[in-house]
Amino acid sequence: MGGNAQTRWWTDAGVGYVVLDNPPMNVLSDENRRGIRDALEEFRRDDVGAVVLTGAGDRAFCAGADLGEEKHLTDDTVGAFLARGEQTFRIIRDYERPVIGAINGWAMGGGLVLALWCDVRVGSTRAKLGAVGVKVGLMASNVQLSRLFPEGRARDMLLTGRTVEAEEAYRLGLLSDGGALRQGRAAGIDVHGVHRPPILGEPGNAVGGIEAAGEGERDDWPVRLHNA
């Protein structure tokens, strides 16, 4: 268990949880980058079976880079800034156990990159994903989306920066386990045959079941997650 100003993490029943908590939109801060790194190091020492990465609240998983932070970069600092971002993605990509992205709201720009480096993505009805970089003259997640999708779909998302909402995301395969979502049953992600992350395994949970995620449940689940 640990945390910093904008990240919290803990272990429960053999599963590590990391929550990005940088309200209102959980833009990816240096605290978050450090938090992800420290949390995964701790989980590795504790030999957890799987990791769940999510965002605090019900608005955003991670809204990407902090444009405010980026605005202050100079020629001297931009290189280190980029390296820190890359390192965070690499830590998730190279982690030895499955990392599950629980997409509880907006995942855009760098937040989508983060989500795509997770092994499995499940989402709530509020999940909204977009490769929005193109709208501000940037681009990211081109290679990830091209390898995940039929290429035409990747181009459509990447070149227009359009938003894909939860239901379409399940249909396209951007989020997993549409069957569970349609039926509102447990997501059934059985990690290593032993550990079933509680927030994924309980019927009627917003992360596990899109239809079960009614208004009440939706408000409830991040709170439960924080208190777990």
Query: In terms of C-beta distances under 8 Å and separation of at least 24 residues, what long-range contacts does 167-175 make, across chains too?
Result: 167/210, 169/103, 169/123, 169/127, 169/129, 170/123, 170/210, 173/148, 173/149, 174/121, 174/129, 174/148, 174/149, 175/103, 175/121, 175/122, 175/123, 175/127, 175/129
Nearer to another protein, 68 or 193 (CB): 68
Q: Which two tokens stand for residue 24?
A: 């209102």
Q: Which two tokens stand for residue 140?
A: 């990211």
Would you count residue 51 as binding another protein (CB under 8 A)? no
Residues 65-84 that bind another protein (CB under 8 A): 67-68, 70-71, 78, 82
Would you count residue 137 as binding another protein (CB under 8 A)? yes
Would you count residue 13 as binding another protein (CB under 8 A)? no
Site size with another protein, rule: CB under 8 A? 31
| Minimum distance, C-beta of residue 142 to another protein, in the bound complex (Å) | 4
Q: Which two tokens stand for residue 112?
A: 């989508």
Among 2, 3, 14, 161, binds another protein (CB under 8 A): 161
| Minimum distance, C-beta of residue 51 to another protein, in the bound complex (Å) | 22
> What distance in Å separates the CA atoms of residue 159 and residue 152, rounded to the nearest whole number?
10
Residue 18, beta-bridge partner list = 9, 53
Among 5, 80, 143, 223, binds another protein (CB under 8 A): 143
Among 154, 180, 181, 206, binds another protein (CB under 8 A): 154
Among 60, 158, 174, 191, binds another protein (CB under 8 A): 158
The span of 6-14, 46-54, 98-106, 151-159 binding another protein (CB under 8 A) equals 151-159
Would you count residue 142 as binding another protein (CB under 8 A)? yes
Among 64, 105, 130, 133, binds another protein (CB under 8 A): 133
DSSP string, 153-202: HHHHHHHH--EEEHHHHHHHTSSS-HHHHHHT------BTTTB--HHHHS
What 3-state class would DSSP assign to 113? helix
Name the residues that contact another protein, by CB under 8 A.
Answer: 67-68, 70-71, 78, 82, 86, 133-140, 142-143, 146-147, 149-156, 158-161
